[in-house]
Amino acid sequence: MPSYFPSDYLLRFLAGHSKYIVTPPSFGIIASILRAATRLSFGDMGAWAVRTLEMMWKDDFDEVTEDHIQHAAETVNLTWDYDIPRVRRRAFYELLRTKNFGQDFDLRDDDVRASARLPVEEAGESLGDRAENKYAANGTTVNGSRRRRMPRAALLSRDDVGRLIYAREELLDAWIRITATFPDSVVCPSASDGAQYSAGDGLCFSATDGVGASPVPIGKKTKGRVCDTLSRSSSSLRWAALVHQSGTFMQYKYDPVLGLSALKKLNWSKNFCKTCISQLHLIWDKERAKLWVYQLDEWLCLNRANGAGCG
Ligand SMILES: [Zn+2]
């Protein structure tokens, strides 16, 4: 019997527990209702459970925050078992930015390494099966140590682990490309007419003017700072300080969707003009949308039911 099939939740729901409509229940209860409603052909209850999951896992990159949503692996398994495609991308992304994809395999463990070398038919059908075999019912491993046992519903299939490995590599490549250097495509308006606008005398911004500053009229004495975009060495130094030395690159290496939002919050206004900052924001917004709308589906092979041909 599946882990989530206490049909009393469904009975309570049918008995008029409208509180579930007003305040969504926990993930475990939603999953239980979905399984029971499907088995008993209660279409409306199943549809409610699916809608609730879709609200929980909003398919929108603006909904990705520092707060992680729990039960991502269980949700991925539910999306395959009950055909819930609109939940899949968000749940997979949660796993992508989670250590070990939320799985409990430790390759430093001799027993897991030995299991991984076995032919598939001997080791089990999936990594999940291997983990299930290894961590017996009482949570004791072969070598006697005790570990917390993962619920079976949270064990990912080998196909899904493969999707995650490939997608994480691609995401990391994208993050490295985006954060490598100050973008060449940014053009400061101060550079369009060098004869009129020069350092300290023209269309430039002081450190105290900030993002909201207006261009200083030509010939008017300024506070003496020009936008760092005008100097490749200055922009490179500032980029390295803000993106890399601040730790932002490392912090978001597995979460570039949130990382691209974090880049916008760095203190660019001290050294770059409003126009250049706007161009940077536009570049990062486009990258974030491209990652979420197009590339994630491709890298996760979400249009291929069994993952065949990924990569
Ligand atoms: Zn500029």
* Domain presence at residue 16: yes
- Length of the chain equals 311
Examine the fold and report which residue of 45, 76, 101 is the final residue of a domain before the chain moves on: 101
* Domain presence at residue 269: yes
* Domain presence at residue 93: yes
Q: Are residues 113 and 183 in the same domain?
A: no
Low-confidence ranges of the chain (pLDDT < 70): 1-22, 105-149, 191-225, 304-311
Summary mean pLDDT of the chain: 77
Tell me what pLDDT residue 137 has: 37
Q: Are residues 261 and 295 in the same domain?
A: yes
- Tell me which residue range forms the domain holding 127: 104-149
**Ligand 1 center from residue 223 Cα (angstroms):** 16
Domain count, the chain: 3
CA distances for 41 relative to 45, 47, 76, 212, angstroms: 9, 11, 22, 59
Tell me what pLDDT residue 304 has: 57
**Ligand 1 center from residue 269 Cα (angstroms):** 10
Helix 256-264 vs helix 158-179: crossing angle, to nearest 10: 20
Q: Are residues 182 and 295 in the same domain?
A: yes
Q: Are residues 218 and 282 in the same domain?
A: yes
Tell me what pLDDT residue 16 has: 58
Q: Is the Cα torsion angle 200, 201, 207, 208 positive or negative in sign? A: positive
* Domain presence at residue 311: no
Tell me what pLDDT residue 1 has: 43
**Ligand 1 center from residue 195 Cα (angstroms):** 16
Q: Are residues 132 and 219 in the same domain?
A: no
Does the pTM surpass 0.85? The reply is no
Tell me how far apart the terminal alpha carbons of the chain are, to the nearest angstrom: 35
Q: Are residues 60 and 97 in the same domain?
A: yes
Q: Are residues 25 and 69 in the same domain?
A: yes
* Domain presence at residue 114: yes
Q: Are residues 122 and 202 in the same domain?
A: no
Tell me what pLDDT residue 20 has: 64
Q: Are residues 58 and 138 in the same domain?
A: no
Q: Are residues 292 and 240 in the same domain?
A: yes
**Ligand 1 center from residue 198 Cα (angstroms):** 12
Counting other chains too, the contacts that 204-209 makes at CB distance below 8 Å and 24 or more residues apart are 204/273, 205/273, 205/274, 207/270, 207/271
